[in-house]
Amino acid sequence: MRHATDRDSVPQPDDATPKQRHRQVRSRHARFLICAGIATLLVGVGLTAAFARAPRFLRFPDAAVAFIGWGDLQGWSTDNQKAAFDTFVTSCSAVVKNRSPRPLRAALREVCRKALAVTVTDNTQARRFFEQQFRPVAVSPLDDDTGLLTGYYEPVIEGSRVRTDIYTTPIYGRPADLVVLGPDQGDAVAGAPNKGPVGRNVDGKIVPYYSRAEIADGALEGRGLALCWLKDPVDLFFAQIQGSVRVDLTDGGTLRLNYSAHNGLPYTAVGRYLIDRKIIPRAEMSLARIRAWMEDNPETGEALRRLNRSYVFFRKTDLTGDSGPIGAQGVSLTAGRSIAVDSKLHVYGTPFFITAQLPLTAVNSSDDFNRLMIAQDTGSAIIGPARADIYFGAGAELGHIAGRIRHHGRFTMLVPRSLDPAALAADVKLPRARPALPSAAASKPESKPSAQGETADAAKGSPAQAEPLPLPDKRAPAPAQSAPTKPQAAPKTKPPAKD
């Protein structure tokens, strides 16, 4: 005898009443909709999973990318590609040691192995190497076709190994009680924190580290942290902005110091403070103007520096001669070929071709800058896929050039050919309709504080809250200053050329 089931208690079509048959139809329809919904959901989940597996290394936030041809790069064939290749090889020494399985890093590692194994003696060979190993990809913000360029340099200043009546301002090394709340590689070059939570341990509790003002008032005195002593606190301030410094010592020696750590407190751009209070006009703002104002107004300059609570600590290096400072990648920077980029978006060692008009030969000049650069450094305010800080070299003269760079440029990222271009193009955002661009003088570029520097336009955002300062009405001397400019029109990007 068969056991009764739930179905046996349900009237069948032949013996069901009209009302019951109506209920059966509604029930079957509901089950159909449920099944259809589940099927659609499963398909969607499958598509989403497949989509999620697509490489993500060209999915930049609020940016557009486009594959272009080498012929679209203005000045590509006339650049000193041998110099760029030599800088790239310097990066490769670090790239090949990185064992990350991420697609872009792995592909760049393979290109670097080839670069380290090949002999390149001239521009033609170097250019051929880059063209054979990479594809050019234009990168820009969604609402513009250009990104922002600034410049930095390595100051050269006088100092003493010991404190004297003349040399009274210490450059401090990293304190032992500085605690980094997160991944930290101690005093290592690559990975030393540039921003993020930092504090000090007091009776088992983590409290904020000493501010610039507290350190200036002697919070770290007597600990043996001074690496050397400077004449002027303004020299220290600008060395901290740049993140590296050469100190010519009174005994004839030279100290090469690099960024080691920071105190974890927010950076406040003094340039923005001076602009907001109409001390220096926005169009004339530069590092040179800030310094001139501080030297002309020592007391209020000191009060203004105290508003910037951030403080940078240094470490001694073994660098000698004309070798550049160590960048965040852990290799020496090359003047005119190394750039600082957003390390959250880009991989160190990636080549970028930059096209711009920059004031290189004079304050108001507009010189062609069509150059292949290598990403070897970063900065806490270098934010975005089309944002770079150009390293110009060491000394005051190159510092003047770096300080007046605040210009737009076109960015082309070189992507290893071994990566699938179809996968690279997946989920690339299309540009929005572009609004009317503001005038160059009214543009507000990104800032660059702390370990890499402060742009001519100062920091983005409001300064830290503080009591109003008795800033004088007098204006700093006003040298001619170029406003942010855009490069001359370059050829429009084309669809990817077939390889």
Q: pLDDT of 232-270, one tens digit each?
A: 999 999 999 999 999 999 999 999 999 999 998 988 889
Strand partners of residue 150:
389, 406
DSSP state of 45: H
**Rounded-to-10 torsion of CA 218, 224, 229, 232:** -10
Distances (CA, A) of 81 to 349, 373, 410, 422, 490: 15, 10, 18, 28, 20
pLDDT over 90 for what percent of the chain? Answer: 55
The residue ranges of DSSP E strands in 204-253, in sequence order, are 205-208, 226-230, 244-249
- Split at pLDDT 50, 70, 90, the class of 102 is confident
Q: Tell me what pLDDT residue 142 has.
A: 85
Q: Tell me what pLDDT residue 320 has.
A: 83
Establish if 282 belongs to a structural domain: yes
pLDDT at 161 over 90: yes
User: Which conformational region is residue 203 in: left (phi greater than 0), alpha (psi within -120 to 50 degrees), or beta?
Assistant: left
pLDDT at 16 over 60: no
In what helix (H) or strand (E) does residue 312 lie, and over which residues does it extend? strand 312-316
Q: How far is CA 265 from the centre of its chain?
A: 19
Q: Tell me what pLDDT residue 419 has.
A: 86
pLDDT at 336 over 60: yes
Q: Tell me what pLDDT residue 149 has.
A: 96
Establish if 25 belongs to a structural domain: no
Residue-number span of the structural domain to which 114 is assigned: 65-499
Backbone angles phi, psi at 308, to 5 degrees: -85, 95
Name, in order, each residue with C-beta under 8 angstroms of 469's C-beta and a sequence gap of 6 or more: 300, 303, 304, 307
Highest mean pLDDT (candidates 15-19, 453-457, 493-497): 15-19
- Split at pLDDT 50, 70, 90, the class of 41 is very low
Establish if 498 belongs to a structural domain: yes
Q: Tell me what pLDDT residue 411 has.
A: 97
Of residues 16 and 125, more confidence is placed in 125
Residues 405 and 389: their CA atoms lie apart, in Å, by 9
Average pLDDT over residues 381-401: 93
Task: Provide the 3-class DSSP secondary structure of residue 469.
Answer: coil
Q: Tell me what pLDDT residue 492 has.
A: 40
**Residue-wise burial string across 455-490, b where 16 or more C-beta atoms lie within 10 A, e elsewhere:** bbbbbbeebeeeeeeebeeeebeeeebbbbbbbeeb
Establish if 22 belongs to a structural domain: no
Establish if 142 belongs to a structural domain: yes
pLDDT at 205 over 60: yes
Average pLDDT over residues 265-290: 89
Q: What CATH number corresponds to the domain at position 238?
A: 2.40.40.10
Residues 304 and 413: their CA atoms lie apart, in Å, by 39
Task: Provide the 3-class DSSP secondary structure of residue 399.
Answer: helix
Q: Tell me what pLDDT residue 57 has.
A: 56
Q: How are beta strands 387-394 and 351-358 bridged, if at all?
A: unpaired
Establish if 13 belongs to a structural domain: no
Q: Tell me what pLDDT residue 432 has.
A: 44
Quote the crossing angle between the two packed helices 287-296 and 396-403, to the nearest 10°. 110
Average pLDDT over residues 40-44: 39
Contact 169, 259 (CB under 8 A): no
pLDDT at 221 over 60: yes
Residues 123 and 396: their CA atoms lie apart, in Å, by 31
Q: Tell me what pLDDT residue 463 has.
A: 30
Residues 488 and 368: their CA atoms lie apart, in Å, by 9
Number of structural domains in the chain: 1
Window from 14-28, 210-224, 290-304, 324-338 with minimum mean pLDDT: 14-28
Q: How are beta strands 351-358 and 406-416 bridged, if at all?
A: antiparallel
Average pLDDT over residues 411-432: 67
Q: Tell me what pLDDT residue 187 has.
A: 40
Average pLDDT over residues 101-118: 94
In what helix (H) or strand (E) does residue 148 lie, and over which residues does it extend? strand 147-154
Establish if 18 belongs to a structural domain: no
Establish if 47 belongs to a structural domain: no
Query: What does the block give as tokens for 432?
Result: 């929005």
pLDDT at 301 over 50: yes
Say what the pTM is.
Answer: 0.72
pLDDT at 210 over 90: yes
- Summarised one tens digit per residue, pLDDT across range 422-441 is 555 443 444 444 444 333 33
Query: What does the block give as tokens for 427?
Result: 């989920």
Contact 141, 432 (CB under 8 A): no
Average pLDDT over residues 317-326: 88
- Please state the length of the chain: 499
Q: Tell me what pLDDT residue 56 has.
A: 53
Contact 64, 485 (CB under 8 A): no
Indicate the average pLDDT of the chain. Answer: 78
In what helix (H) or strand (E) does residue 294 lie, and over which residues does it extend? helix 287-296
Of residues 99 and 43, more confidence is placed in 99
Average pLDDT over residues 36-61: 44
Average pLDDT over residues 53-61: 56
